[in-house]
Amino acid sequence: MKLLLEDGFSVEKGTGVGRYTLNLARELGKYPEVEILPPARNLVRKIRPSSARRLAYAAWLETGFQTQLLRLEADVIHFTNYLVPRNRKSKARFVASIHDLTAWKLPDSLPRTYISYIRKAITRAVNVADLILCPSASIRTEVIERFGLAQEKVRSAWNGDSRLPEVSAERCEELRRQLASRLRLHKPYILFVGTLERRKNVTTLVEAFARVAEEFDLQCVMVGKPGFGFPEIRSSIENQSFRERYILAGFVTDEELAWLYAHAELFAFPSWYEGFGTPLVEAMCFGLPIVASRIPSTEEVAAGAAVYYDSPSDHDALAGKIVDVLNSTELRRGLGLNGKQRSEKFNWGNLARTHIDAYRYCLNAC
């Protein structure tokens, strides 16, 4: 099978979709029956700003990309970032990933000018692709219902963890000193990982931690790049009595992220909406207890490795669950053990085979 993974530059952005694509490619490369073809878009890559590059990329999908497919004689193209061409000039099968339906389910969490673009792109993927892959069963159901698709056209294929590195004891101490100096990390802490954007509901965590900080001498570490709605998050922090305890870590290396997961008291994940939630898997891999909003995809991924609260915006409920976990050594231990066991289901070897089966199905039945 000649397979081309077309990621729409998500790998370069280092987002969840990019990490998914990169890890999938690495694992698929271990299977002799799969030949991964290299994309060739160097000229488009150099275009700036990103808005101009998006237009150039869309044009390239209809022209140079089509020529490339004919030359490489690709069997399957997996568009891992849902951006597909309008036209098809080769016999290759198209598989498109749709990671979530935020543009429909939670439009207020996106820039207004971006909503129409995403809706059109996803709708095109649904209409053009032979097979749709979704990162969770809950998103699969949403896609089928939103677009009125046949069950067999949409499959769920979980993502995996980000394969964070193991950190030696010596390196661990170096990282502790570095993070203490750079982030002023000097106390036990709770951890959040994700883009600092409205959809992740970070302001609710900020407000919840303000209550937790009244009872526990902790810090709140938030790892991730600023996204849409970040000024709201910063403003909320500045209005808190314990504002010096919030740490906006921004980008961290994989080693630093591994250290932060390994030494946190718990992981908080209050999202309004998720397609999957890779940080959940990462936290489970480290045996880190999780407190999360009760939304379908999070329950599907974390299952018994998390304590849930029902309304994502209820900061009192979130604070209460965090306090419950912090106060119970037995509860923390149980959640950590459940997480370790649960994380084994997201082994990339198994997940790669799930994707290969989907590609084979597309070749034979679509």
For every residue of 73-138, which 3-state class applies, written as one string? CCCEEEECCCCCCCCCCCCCEEEEECCCCHHHHCHHHCCHHHHHHHHHHHHHHHHHCCEEEECCHH
- For 98-109, how does the pLDDT look when each residue is reduced to its tens digit (9 = 90+)? 999 999 999 999
* 44 plus 56 within the same structural domain: yes
* 156 plus 178 within the same structural domain: no
Range of the structural domain that residue 25 is part of: 2-160+347-365
* 81 plus 94 within the same structural domain: yes
Find the range with the poorest average confidence among 159-163, 204-208, 253-257, 346-350: 159-163
What is the model's pLDDT at position 9? 82
* 141 plus 207 within the same structural domain: no
Sheet holding 35-37, edge to edge: 35-37, 2-6, 76-79, 93-97, 131-134, 154-156
Mean per-residue pLDDT, 10-32: 87
* 80 plus 177 within the same structural domain: no
* 54 plus 7 within the same structural domain: yes
- Global confidence as pTM: 0.94
CATH of the domain at 175: 3.40.50.2000
What is the model's pLDDT at position 47? 78
| Number of domains composing the chain | 2
- For 161-215, how does the pLDDT look when each residue is reduced to its tens digit (9 = 90+)? 878 999 998 899 999 999 999 999 999 999 999 999 999 999 999 999 999 999 9
* 14 plus 146 within the same structural domain: yes
* 154 plus 174 within the same structural domain: no
* 207 plus 286 within the same structural domain: yes
* For residue 34, pLDDT beyond 90: yes
What is the model's pLDDT at position 50? 75
Q: Tell me the pLDDT band of 13, cut-offs 50, 70 and 90.
A: confident
Find the range with the poorest average confidence among 9-13, 312-316, 333-337: 9-13
* 24 plus 154 within the same structural domain: yes
What is the model's pLDDT at position 44? 79
* For residue 43, pLDDT beyond 70: no
* 225 plus 97 within the same structural domain: no
What does the alpha-carbon distance between residue 300 and residue 158 come to, in Å, rounded to a whole number?
10
* 177 plus 223 within the same structural domain: yes
Sign of CA dihedral 159, 165, 167, 172: negative
